[in-house]
């Protein structure tokens, strides 16, 4: 129990530090500016935070890729489901060339913070609302509100896309 509490406190402090640094830094990182201009994003996930569970670091190299109005991601899911998941391929949140329309919501965001919102359907036909928050220092927070499960958030950093993601 103590180890879970220590991990949770460490994760919260890390997120607060990242948000504080991002809010203070007026210079937009090159990757952030590139993502905002092109509506393209490659994010490497380093922390997963399910609702109603303790968050934990991700060491498996999960990525979220947005290119040309399409979302590609195969994300792990941890949390409560409203329906039984019979097919194990539907256990995570999987998006394969899923068409999306990004809505920018910068007016409600603080200075140095940029927000995208969009909706997507998993390959298992579950509806997911995304809220993607960019910070000037290149960190990203992705909140997923699912139609048949509890929500989950992913935290990470923008990275250059590899050849298969371009």
Q: How far apart are CA 159 and CA 129, in angstroms?
A: 23
Classify each residue of 64-86 as buried b or exposed e, where b means 16 or more C-beta atoms within 10 Å of its C-beta.
bbbbeeebbbebebbeeeeeeee
Q: In the 8-state DSSP scheme, what is residue 29?
A: P
> Is pLDDT at 22 greater than 50 in this prediction?
no
CATH 2.40.128 describes domain 2-165: yes
Q: What is the tens place of the pLDDT at every residue in 39-87?
A: 899 999 999 999 888 889 988 889 999 999 999 999 988 888 777 666 6
pTM of the model: 0.77
> Is pLDDT at 138 greater than 80 in this prediction?
yes
Can you give the pLDDT at residue 23? 46
Domain boundaries, the chain: 2-165
Q: How far apart are CA 84 and CA 148, in angstroms?
A: 10
Q: How far apart are CA 156 and CA 94, in angstroms?
A: 18
Q: Provide the 10 A C-beta neighbour count for residue 20.
A: 11
């Amino acid at each position: 129990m103590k180890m879970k509490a220590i991990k949770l406190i460490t994760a919260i402090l890390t997120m607060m530090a990242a948000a504080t640094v991002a809010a203070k830094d007026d210079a937009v990182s090159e990757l952030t500016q590139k993502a905002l201009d092109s509506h393209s994003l490659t994010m490497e996930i380093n922390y997963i935070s399910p609702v109603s569970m303790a968050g934990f670091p991700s060491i498996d190299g999960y990525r979220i890729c947005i290119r040309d109005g399409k979302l590609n991601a195969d994300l792990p899911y941890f949390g409560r489901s409203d329906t039984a998941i019979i097919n194990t391929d539907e256990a995570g949140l999987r998006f394969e060339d899923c068409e999306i329309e990004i809505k920018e919501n910068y007016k409600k965001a603080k200075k140095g913070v940029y927000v995208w919102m969009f909706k997507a359907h998993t390959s298992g036909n579950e509806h997911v609302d995304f809220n993607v928050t960019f910070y000037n220092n290149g960190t990203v927070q992705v909140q997923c509100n699912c139609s048949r499960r509890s929500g989950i958030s992913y935290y990470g950093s923008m990275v250059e896309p590899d050849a298969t993601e371009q």
